[in-house]
Amino acid sequence: MKTNQILIRYGELSTKGRNRKAFISRLRNNIQTLFAGTPTLRIKAERDRMFLFCDDEQGMEDIVSRLPYVFGIQSFSPVTQTSLELDDMKHTALAIVSKMDTKDKSFKVSVKRPNKEFPYEKPEIMRTIGGYVLGNTPELTVAMRNPDIDLSVEIRQDAAYMMAETIQGAAGLPIGAGGRALLMLSGGIDSPVAGYHMLKRGVRLELIHFFSPPFTTERAKEKVLDLAEKLSGFGSPVTLHIIPFTEIQQEVHKQVPDNITMTSTRRMMMRIADAVRAKTDAKAIITGESLGQVASQTLESLQAINAVTNTPILRPLIAQDKLEIIETAQAIGTYDISIRPYEDCCTIFTPANPKTKPKTDKVEHYESFVSFDEMIDRAVAEREIIEFPRNKQQHFEDLL
């Protein structure tokens, strides 16, 4: 008995008409990239489903644990192969079922028998396997309709194939199918979640982060690096642009009244982001803004901040509650990174009473006394660019 195959059912993409082929090959490429470290992986993509084959057990475990996060997959099932001996088949069936949660669950065996030379008929196979599993798993009940556990057995020429578990996929579209956009990544809880939602729509991500040493520490930056690493774990590499932002932030504080520094700072960030977006051929900017969450996230604020560009600003979280956002952050593994207690550049310099309804023309007026353009160009030119996933180990080759 060996579990060396996975059957993948496509998500939304199976409905995509003529683009179908492109979607499937995207998915295939993404899976290939994601599991580049598993050399034994083979992929067979069919019209309606995809098969992964992998002969090393460790690699298989890795695939099963990471596949639920790959977009474009509705669900998948590990397939176990066994010999055509009925005894072997029933032991394998029990081994599969005993790994599942069987408490108060209903169960059935369904058999397909394309191998017509197989000496036993379907009912006999069902009885033997079903009887053996039930006899050894007393808490299971039988249900021929809508069972919780449907153990399907396919008797082919070379072997018998069994599967019982259907693992939910992440659905969505394969990354890359939806173009490229630039995510403003602060280090907080929201922005990685916003990025995740866009990844799920097939969008490839560039990331931008504003770094203000010494007001923000290396640890705050590291948080962002770790978040970027997480965001690169969905089957598509990401590039992070780190903008040296101290000078501009200090200048804003010199030039504009306290209660609108926040608005003005965000406008500067947006202008820089737009410049980086243009350089990376991204088509939109993504933010983690959620309406009413903080002073900068009122409609008036959004209007004043948005006024610096015509680029589409995508705000996937705009109507979400904080609790929903936190739930997603936990599910995708960014929450624990985001709550590390290091300040980012949005939380330092926060005025006591930021205007929640800033007027765009007023903000523009105060900004007009300094030429920020030059500083913005410099910040863009001096950005640090890091590719993810990173291979940290490389730094330590001489030691390890």
Partner 1 sequence: MIYLDNSATTEPDPQVLETYVKASNRYFANPSSLHRLGNEAEDLLESARSQIKGLLGYGRIIFTSGGTEANNLAIRGAAHANQEKGRHIISCKTEHPSVLEPLKQLEKEGFEITLLSVDRKGAIDLADLQQALRVDTILVSLMQVNNEIGTIHPLADIRRMLNNHRALFHVDAVQGAGKLLLSEQEMPDLLTVSAHKFHGLKNSGVLAVHKAELEPILFGGGQEGGLRSGTVSVPNAAALAKALRLATPNPDHLEWNAELRSFFAGYKDIYIVSPSSAAPHILAVAIAGMRGETLVGALQQEGVIVSTSSACSSKNKQASHVIEAIGLPREYRDGTIRISFGAMTTHEDISELKKRFHKAHQLIKGVEQS
Given 55, 139, 218, 382, the residue binding partner 1 (CB under 8 A): 218
Tell me the DSSP string of 130-149.
HHHHHHH-TT-EE-SSS-SE
101 is a site residue for partner 1 (CB under 8 A)? no
Given 150, 154, 222, 251, the residue binding partner 1 (CB under 8 A): 222
Sign of CA dihedral 287, 288, 293, 299: positive
315 is in an annotated binding site: no
- Binding to partner 1 by CB under 8 A, coded x per residue (else -) over 368-397, reads ------------------------xx-xx-
Yes or no: say if 252 and 265 are a contact pair by the CB < 8 Å rule: yes
Yes or no: say if 293 and 170 are a contact pair by the CB < 8 Å rule: no
Q: What angle do CA 204, 205, 207 make, to 5 degrees?
A: 170
Tokens of 351: 């005025």
Interacting positions 266-295 with partner 1 (CB under 8 A): none
Query: Which among 139-147, 166-174, 217-225, 327-335 is the span making contact with partner 1, rule CB under 8 A?
Result: 217-225
| Strand pairing category for 2-10 and 73-82 | antiparallel
Q: Which is nearer to partner 1, 16 or 91 (CB)?
A: 91
217 is a site residue for partner 1 (CB under 8 A)? yes
Least separation in angstroms between residue 157's CB and partner 1 is 28
55 is a site residue for partner 1 (CB under 8 A)? no
Question: What is the b/e burial string over 302-330, where b = at least 16 CB atoms within 10 angstroms of the residue's CB?
Answer: bebbbebbebebbbbbbebeeeebbebbe
209 is in an annotated binding site: yes
120 is a site residue for partner 1 (CB under 8 A)? no
Total residues contacting partner 1 by CB under 8 A comes to: 15
297 is in an annotated binding site: yes
117 is a site residue for partner 1 (CB under 8 A)? no
Asked if the peptide bond before residue 68 counts as cis, ω within 30 degrees of 0, the response is: no
Give the closest residue to 134 by CA, choosing from 167, 165, 163, 105. 105
Tokens of 187: 């280090």
310 is a site residue for partner 1 (CB under 8 A)? no
Q: Which is nearer to partner 1, 112 or 395 (CB)?
A: 395
Q: Which is nearer to partner 1, 216 or 249 (CB)?
A: 216
User: DSSP alpha helices (H): ranges in 232-351?
Assistant: 246-255, 261-279, 299-306, 322-332, 335-338
- Binding to partner 1 by CB under 8 A, coded x per residue (else -) over 323-342, reads -------------------x
Given 40, 58, 65, 157, the residue binding partner 1 (CB under 8 A): 58
271 is in an annotated binding site: no
d(CA 354, CA 389): 37
Q: Which is nearer to partner 1, 125 or 220 (CB)?
A: 220
Given 46, 55, 57, 281, the residue binding partner 1 (CB under 8 A): 57
Given 2, 127, 219, 378, the residue binding partner 1 (CB under 8 A): 219
Q: Which is nearer to partner 1, 219 or 322 (CB)?
A: 219
185 is in an annotated binding site: yes
Q: Which is nearer to partner 1, 89 or 295 (CB)?
A: 89
Yes or no: say if 98 and 137 are a contact pair by the CB < 8 Å rule: yes
Yes or no: say if 2 and 81 are a contact pair by the CB < 8 Å rule: yes
At 27, the amino acid letter reads L
Q: Which is nearer to partner 1, 2 or 279 (CB)?
A: 2
What are the start-end ranges of the E strands in the chain? 2-10, 42-45, 49-53, 73-82, 106-112, 141-142, 149-155, 160-163, 167-171, 180-184, 204-211, 238-244, 285-286, 313-314, 384-388
Least separation in angstroms between residue 127's CB and partner 1 is 23
Least separation in angstroms between residue 66's CB and partner 1 is 15
399 is a site residue for partner 1 (CB under 8 A)? yes
103 is a site residue for partner 1 (CB under 8 A)? no
Yes or no: say if 359 and 217 are a contact pair by the CB < 8 Å rule: no
Residues at the site binding partner 1, with contacts judged by CB under 8 A: 57-58, 98, 217-219, 222, 342, 392-393, 395-396, 398-400
Known binding-site residues for ATP equal 184-185, 209-210, 266, 288, 297
